[in-house]
Structure 1
């Protein structure tokens, strides 16, 4: 009798770890700072296993019972993976704000043609966008916001209990708000450069009227790039603080408390 109870206990513990790992692993495959192309898949897997092992005793009371058969087990695990993918995608949405800002800045400053490989995404993008994305990801880790992301993973079991259906209507509405919020934040970060560009080209237009013999294009391009870099060096600290504050508020949506 004792041996049977021991086997049941082991099965329950293994199932609890598997169901937690299904959600945590899916989130870690998309989480900013951890899911980047530069991070080895082995490191991501190790971190996911470690966090899942730490979270399992904390959330085991709210986990569903062990399913009776393999199809039911696969269904439960698939649902947890889906929840993890949805949560990871929602958390990662705000990273696109820096890509939007960087692309807008690059187009306004005449650097839109300068492309570079983004090591965080594995794709090509504007050089300014790549710089802002790498800097933002580094600051997220440096300011311990990744710990807030792990806390959000824990609290997700209060917001989206294991074994329960995913509230698709609420998730879609939240995703719409986050997409619009990320776009608004990206344009807010790029706003000083957009205003500068408007004033700069307005001044160049007046200059071309006053001095028709002057080749304004050859003067405007290098001067625009020089002044834009000067503005970026002055405002980069303020812009990153703005991004980190917005990212922290974004993560607070996923905290139960």
Structure 2
């Protein structure tokens, strides 16, 4: 074997090893990523997405030594899978925040049972509308570009071939859950306020006119009011959600710090 051929084979082995490490991290991320990782996306399409992200991220990924045995390869697979899942879980929290906001809004406006089983995860109609709109907005706003930048940034926060610290991950996870529920309640606040006003008004009317069946009178009002608030507030809800998502993409581990 000529020296040039041997050098080419060594270089190919290094490139394949680094590409495989990036592929594992990106694959774990895409499996939980909004829009690209949804259940409705076919597995073959997801595989092409992972390969495309791998090709984009690999030139910017840090260099690594080629694993010499099975234990080294196993370590790379385990660490990169965990690191990719951590980043993906943070992104998936924003979808769960929309689901929670839709459930709160639907329960507040008596619209929780309409089209409840229309998707893989049973959702009220409001949650379904918000999620579809948010995913479309994120895709149009360049989610794929921001996600590639996030993966490149993640190598500074989660080094290649190293497990993340348990204390840091637990603190970060609690912070992400807290922020997700806070964001969900913020997004659903107009519907909650409408529900409070409706119930107070209904109680006052019932106190003044006990013989009136206020439930039959108020049900169409709260339903129409909920739809009207959804029509007016959806652009602002999606804008607030997009800003929160962009903030996470720019600094994913800010909570842990």
Give the TM-score taking structure 2 as reference length.
Answer: 0.92
The aligned counterpart of 1:31 is 33
The aligned counterpart of 1:249 is 247
Native 8 Å contact 1:16 1:56 kept in 2: yes
| Gapped regions of structure 1 (runs ≥ 5) | none
Native 8 Å contact 1:97 1:182 kept in 2: yes
SS at match of 1:129: helix
Residue 204 of structure 1 pairs with residue 174 of structure 2 = no
Native 8 Å contact 2:75 2:161 kept in 1: no
Native 8 Å contact 1:155 1:254 kept in 2: no
Deviation at 1:212, TM superposition (A): 2.3
Aligned match of 1:140 in 124, 138, 141?
138
SS at match of 2:65: coil
Deviation at 1:213, TM superposition (A): 2.5
Deviation at 1:255, TM superposition (A): 8.6
Residue 92 of structure 1 pairs with residue 92 of structure 2 = yes
SS at match of 1:179: helix
Residue 67 of structure 1 pairs with residue 45 of structure 2 = no
Residue-by-residue CA offset, 1:112-159 (whole Å, 9 max, x unaligned): 23343354xx22122211211111111111222332122101111121
Native 8 Å contact 1:155 1:255 kept in 2: no
Aligned match of 1:234 in 228, 232, 235?
232
Deviation at 1:67, TM superposition (A): 1.3
Native 8 Å contact 1:63 1:163 kept in 2: no
Deviation at 1:203, TM superposition (A): 0.7
Native 8 Å contact 1:151 1:255 kept in 2: no
Within a 5 Å distance, the mapping from 1:111-122 to structure 2 comes to 111-117=111-117, 119=119, 122=120
The aligned counterpart of 2:190 is 192
The aligned counterpart of 2:56 is 54
| Gapped regions of structure 2 (runs ≥ 5) | none
Separation in 2 of the partners of 1:94 and 1:177? 13
The aligned counterpart of 1:79 is 79
| RMSD (CA atoms) | 1.7
Paired positions, count: 252
Give the TM-score taking structure 1 as reference length.
Answer: 0.92
